[in-house]
Amino acid sequence: MPLPFLKKKPEAFVGKGFIPVERVKELSSRGFAEPQIVDALLKEGFSVDEIDKALTQALKTSVAAPAQKREETKLPTLEDITKEEKPLEVPETPLAEIESYAGYPIEERYSTEEYIDYIVQARVAEIVEKIKEFEIKYSELEKRIESIRSQLDEFLRSRSEEQKQILNKIET
């Protein structure tokens, strides 16, 4: 019995025999995505291995070229930057004028404890509000349960009276 996994593997697709790096660069410069480039090269008769090598080489050359350009450009020195900068001119506005725009005194600072107290009080107020909502819902639920209980008791009383009437009719 022949085993299928021991069969001779089919020969790999040979391709055109060269790596199409320039074609990859051309397609990528036109805006083709990598899957589109692969599809185009497969249709042109290149093997998967050739396409992979071409993509890798094209990527390497595109990364290496900007690095060389960066080395050629001279970085500005600190002296060049300080020469170009001019001191900023800030108009002097009196503090009272700023406070009138803001509507409150600027110098007023709060301590860390006051900020923490404010945050805690705000959070506690939210929690208290939620608890009140739950208490209201709980009381409404209790009222509904009591209403259902009274209806059930009334129903049971009427049933027992009906049963007594039926028994009386049977006896007579």
Q: How confident is the model at residue 148 (pLDDT cuts 50, 70, 90)?
A: very high
> In three state form, how does the secondary structure of 124-168 look?
HHHHHHHHHHHHHHHHHHHHHHHHHHHHHHHHHHHHHHHHHHHHH
Please report where in the chains the tokens 């259902």 appear, as a residue: 148
What average pLDDT does this structure show over 124-139? 96
Amino acid (1-letter code) at residue 71: E
Higher pLDDT, 161 or 78: 161
Q: How confident is the model at residue 57 (pLDDT cuts 50, 70, 90)?
A: very high
Q: Report the share of the chain in percent with pLDDT over 90.
A: 31
Rounded Cα–Cα distance for residues 165 and 161 (Å): 6
- Name the average pLDDT for the chain: 80
pLDDT score at 17: 81
Joined tokens for residue 145:
């349960």
pLDDT at 120 over 70: yes
pLDDT at 7 over 80: no
H helices within the chain, ranges in order? 21-29, 34-43, 48-72, 78-84, 95-102, 112-171
